[in-house]
Structures are given as C-alpha cells and as structure tokens.
Amino acid sequence: MADRIIKGKVVKLGDYVNTDVISPSRWMREGLDVLRLHTMEAIRKDFYRDVNPGDILVGGRNFGCGSHREPATAIMEVLGVSAIVADSVARLYFRNCIAFGIPVFAVDGISRLVEEGEEMEIVLHADRVTFTNKTKGGELSALPIPETMARVLEAGGVYKLLKQRLAEGY
C-alpha cells in the first residue's frame, strides 16, 4: 500500500480539552448543525469559524478526556477536520475517532513542533508516521496505527467498513 499523506493548516488547542468542552451538553439535542456553532465555545468562542475543511487540530496533553460523547467526535467530521494530533489522547476519544474514520495520533512533543496557522504534513508509512512542520521545518515520528485500526480508517470508519464487508458478502 502506498503512503497516505494528510496536509492541512494547524488549529492549535491546549491541554486537557475535554469532551464536555468539545460538545457542550446544552446543544447536543439540537443536532450536529447547531452543535457545530457551539463546539469548544468555552475555550474558543468562534472555534467553528476558525476551522476549515482539511485543517489539522493539534492539542496538548490528554485531548478528549472526560465523558463518553459521540457528538464530540462526530462534530469533527462535520467541521471537516482532516486529523487530530495531540501530545496524548484519551483512550476512549482515540477509539471513537478511529470508529468515525478520523485519523488521530498521540505524539509526545507535537504541541511544541507547530503553531497556530502553520502548515503540517502527516505521512502514514507502513512502518511509521511522520509529522512535519512545512512552515518552519522540524519533524517527529511515531509508530504506525495498528493494522486493524488502519483498516477501519482506510474504509472511512467502522460503519463504512461494515457496509463494505456486507456488500462483499464477508
């Protein structure tokens, strides 16, 4: 399989961005189109205006911690986020991103490699993943996503993989 490349502008967040901040409960019943307008408003009022399709979110420590909220992951798909990279990612949020087909990576030091608005390139090689600051240089690497998770990502999420397999008579 050829290397997969993800490129985008960095939208940078801090440490401990939790799911309650990502998707405030007050707006979750209103649907994703309304929730989009209130995503992360407690820490960044106009977040939905700052994020464009293809952007890469870069967080600090323990991104996605807190309660289990699928809308906190689903909203990233609505916003068009191409990947999430943080110094560390809460385990449940990490798995939810994979299930939704959103590339997510825990890379110690990533929050020091890039700044808001810089261009980042992520290359998924067979044996590693590289993260390059295309604006000012610098690179980090990490182990690849496990094969089973990589297949889910490649299909675009667990539901799309299931549809694909059912269509193939798996």
Q: Are 133 and 113 in contact (CB under 8 A)?
A: yes
> Which 3 state secondary structure label does DSSP give 124?
strand
The number of domains in the chain is 1
> Which 3 state secondary structure label does DSSP give 64?
coil
Residue 153's domain spans which residues?
A: 4-167
Q: Are 123 and 130 in contact (CB under 8 A)?
A: yes
Q: What percent of the chain has pLDDT over 70?
A: 99
pLDDT band at 128 (very low <50, low <70, confident <90, very high): very high
- How far apart CA 158 and CA 18 sit, in angstroms, is 23
Q: Residue 1: pLDDT above 70?
A: no
pLDDT digits (tens, 9 = 90+) for 15-59: 999 999 999 988 888 999 999 999 999 999 999 999 999 999 999
- How far apart CA 51 and CA 39 sit, in angstroms, is 11
pLDDT band at 2 (very low <50, low <70, confident <90, very high): low
Q: What is the CATH number of the domain that holds 120?
A: 3.20.19.10
